[in-house]
A and B are shown apart, each in its own frame.
Chain A
Amino acid sequence: MKGVNIGILAVQGDVAENISATRMAMDDLGIEGVVTEVKNPEQISDLDGLIIPGGESIVIGTLSLVNGSLKKIKEKIASGMPVLGTCAGMILLSKKVKDRVVGETEQPLLDYLDIKIERNTFGRQKNSFEADISLEKIGIPSFRGVFIRAPSVVDAGKNVEILSKIDEKIVAVKQGNIIGTSFHPELTEDLSIHKYFVNLVQKKN
């Protein structure tokens, strides 16, 4: 049996943290495979799973559009490849985005998750926070959420499963094999979410 090939979209943002979290999750689970940085469409075509990290969503989106990566990711999603998007990654996976202060933003999106995002929903960096949240539906009763200029989901279609809320705001969702979180699981020691994702990729494979 061949191992899984999980890619981290390495355009901009906290790529290295996702690589190490995914490697550690695979080692803990005893799942064989490789974790690779991916930047161009050729590298993306070989993947069994993809993580889109935190960063600036406009930057990651625009630069992935320029070299054709965005189109390739869309094709892979259509063929069933699991994707985990954290913060900026969840924004990119969505269908519609507005900013809390500036309003509607025109930015390249993957147009898959049937959700509407509000960027910077909790405010600016000074209002970034940590809190214990829960993702019971995927078997994670407690998780330290690190929210950095975080977005939230203000509207979710009926195909979208809501995994977590904080103060009535939706902060984690799942639709098919696609997961989005407002927070950054890669910044904490807890590997539960990366493990859940690696398992999803392994099953699909």
Chain B
Amino acid sequence: MIPLSGDIDNAKGIVKENLGSFETKRGTSTLKRGFAHMLKNGVVMDVTTVEQAQIAEDAGAVAVMVLDKLPADVRKAGGVARTASIRIIEEIMDSTTIPVMAKCRIGHVYEAKVLDATDVDMIDESEVLTPADEFHHIWKWDFTTPFVNGARNLGEALRRIEEGVAMIRTKGEPGTGNVAEAVIHIKNVNTELRRLKSIYDAGDDQDLVSLARELKVSYSLVEETASLGRLPVVNFAAGGISTPADAAYLMTLGCDGIFVGSGIFKSDDAKERAQAVVLATTFWEDPGKVKEAQKMVDERQSMLGLDTKNLELRMQERGSTA
């Protein structure tokens, strides 16, 4: 059984139809959130070509995320970053057996509709691309395809869940090869969840109402989340993960799994690194095995990375007030 907190049962994304003599429903929260549960303890890898997708699948990725450019290259190129070429997404879908995800711009309802019509397995409404609407995210209940969104704190996460997202990931600071921001974001969410739970356990309804106002989400979702003591959807780490030890560290902070963006295919040992990050994510509780994974990569081949203090572009701030 999985938590269905905040679920609405008359969502437009739910499709009723018959399969032979069986009545079926598609696009329910059980199916959308359930899909995300199947990815737990796994690694989702950013890819831009069929060849990279093949390397990811062979290395043991649980899914691939198709982009036009890796986040580090988006940062370098500047300009407007949009959803990837549909032809490349389809080529990757036709050649891999694992799920294929793709990114759309924040608030860009029609890029999302195009990806939904392409039948990608999950849509990432992502701050890595240039936002189309700084003030509204997509109303994800309207879609049959599940979504993932980034969040830096509990408020952002719950607001996205209220919009119908099936999975949350930390934003981190994409394309930097620097895990520091992802660490802050996951700790923020954990600290705020502990605070929420302590208010709930103390039975202080007045404080719980104040907290709902502060987080800008409905009281009922805050209350249900408090009773669970965790987010009602799976929560992955993303943004700046470059080494097996980075992945294992984020797993110790209570993440359900890992997204690796530029860290693998901007390194010079992508194949070994992809395998090593998967091993470290699976066996994160065993420092000996993580050491073996870390030994598979060469630090001189890691992407150089950036200090997150002096960045011109802070992708994580995109769409964060909405």
Contacts and interface: CB of A to CB of B under 8 A. Distances in A.
A201 to B, nearest CB: 21
B95 A126 contact: no
Interface residues of B, number: 46
Interface stretch (A27-35, A42-50, A184-192): A184-192
13 contacts: A11-B41, A13-B37, A16-B40, A59-B61, A87-B38, A102-B96, A102-B97, A124-B93, A125-B121, A126-B144, A130-B24, A131-B23, A167-B20
A92 B60 CA distance: 15
B1 interface: yes
B19 A131 contact: yes
A55 B99 CA distance: 11
A62 interface: yes
A149 interface: yes
A4 interface: no
A146 B42 contact: no
A125 B41 contact: no
Contact of A15 (B41, B62, B119, B145): B41
A14 B37 contact: yes
Contacts of A167: 19-22
A159 interface: no
A205 interface: no
Given A54-B38, A187-B37, A126 B119 contact: yes
A131 B23 CA distance: 6
Contacts of A11: 41, 282
Interface string A58-100: 1100110011000000000000000000011000000000010
A126 B145 contact: yes
A131 B22 contact: yes
Given A101-B93, A120-B97, A188-B1, 14 more contacts: A14-B34, A14-B40, A17-B2, A55-B41, A55-B62, A63-B279, A88-B38, A102-B97, A119-B97, A124-B120, A125-B119, A130-B28, A132-B23, A133-B22
Interface in B109-126: 116, 119-122
Contact of B25 (A59, A129, A168, A186): A129
Contacts, number: 144
A143 B25 CA distance: 14
A170 to B, nearest CB: 13
Contacts of B98: 56, 58
B60 A125 contact: no
Interface of A: 10-17, 20-21, 39, 54-56, 58-59, 62-63, 66-67, 87-88, 99, 101-102, 105, 119-120, 123-133, 146, 148-149, 166-168, 184, 186-189
Contacts of B121: 124-126, 149
A189 B60 CA distance: 31
Given A58-B97, A102-B96, A146-B34, A15 B25 contact: no
A37 to B, nearest CB: 10
B26 interface: yes
Contacts of B57: 58
B30 interface: yes
Contacts of A17: 1-2, 37
Contact of B145 (A10, A102, A119, A125): A125
B97 A105 contact: yes
Interface string B10-32: 00000000011111111110110
Interface string B31-54: 100110111111000000000000
Contacts of A13: 37-38, 40-42
Given A126-B145, A149-B99, A62 B60 contact: yes
Contacts of A101: 93-94, 97
A160 to B, nearest CB: 22
Contacts of B279: 63, 66
Contacts of A20: 1
A88 to B, nearest CB: 7
Contacts of B62: 12, 55-56, 59
Contact of B2 (A102, A125, A168, A187): A187
